[in-house]
Amino acid sequence: MEKGYVQVYTGDGKGKTTAALGLALRAVGRGLKVVIFQFLKSSFSGELESALRLTPKLEILRFNLMEKLLWEMSGEEREQLKEATALGFIKARMMAMEGSFDIIILDEIMGVLNQGFLSNADVCQLMDEKAPSVELILTGRNAPREIVERANLVTEMRAVKHYQEQGITARDGIER
């Protein structure tokens, strides 16, 4: 791409990751290379299977291999996750600076910030240092003000109604 921008998908509503994945699918269809860094996610999901079919144009890299949710982890496990997240972020930063992918998606990066695994300054530095041609997509709830201000596009998903409130759990092919 000639010029890459920074996009943020945030808010308490469903659809942040889905929007980023839709953009990735569109980009691959146009011959662009996309890498998705998924932070804090561990369970199997349909996008992992789809990405395998679109390799090498689309890659998904994950950094939570414990198959546990954050609130189920011990202090030691959280520390291991923090270390894995930091290594994943370093890899994402290097790829963004070298411009080897057209689009880099940092899925749930806001959750990483909210957990204190990285600082807002780390992400702002990445936004500033990325290669000019790289489109950077950041997702997750509670995007910090400084990231929102630096981004070129910010979309806030707002929860209006969700069937989960009626006890319906995540469904294959829809939520996972």
Q: Is 144 part of a structural domain of the chain?
A: no
pLDDT digits (tens, 9 = 90+) for 106-143: 999 999 999 999 999 999 999 999 999 999 999 999 99
3-state secondary structure the chain: CCCCCEEEEEECCCCHHHHHHHHHHHHHHCCCCEEEEECCCCCCCHHHHHHHHHCCCEEEEECCCCCCCHHHCCHHHHHHHHHHHHHHHHHHHHHHHHCCCCEEEEECHHHHHHCCCCCHHHHHHHHHHCCCCCEEEEECCCCCHHHHHHCCEEEEECCCCCHHHHCCCCCCCCCC
pLDDT digits (tens, 9 = 90+) for 128-138: 999 999 999 99
Per the structure, the complete domain to which residue 109 belongs is given by 6-133
pLDDT digits (tens, 9 = 90+) for 16-34: 999 999 999 999 999 999 9
Higher pLDDT, residue 88 or 175: 88
Q: Is 27 part of a structural domain of the chain?
A: yes
* CATH number of the domain within which 58 lies: 3.40.50.300
Q: Is 29 part of a structural domain of the chain?
A: yes
**Structure confidence at residue 49 as a pLDDT band (50, 70, 90):** confident
Neighbours of 156 (CB within 10 A): 14
Q: Is 66 part of a structural domain of the chain?
A: yes
Statement: residue 163 has pLDDT above 90: no
**Structure confidence at residue 5 as a pLDDT band (50, 70, 90):** very high
Q: Is 166 part of a structural domain of the chain?
A: no
**Among candidate residues 44, 94, 48, the one with its CA nearest the CA of residue 65:** 44
Q: How far apart are CA 100 and CA 53, in angstroms?
A: 20
Q: Is 37 part of a structural domain of the chain?
A: yes
**How many independent structural domains does the chain possess?**
1
pLDDT digits (tens, 9 = 90+) for 78-104: 999 999 999 999 999 999 999 999 999
pLDDT at site 65? 67
pLDDT at site 97? 97
Q: Is 25 part of a structural domain of the chain?
A: yes
Q: Is 148 part of a structural domain of the chain?
A: no
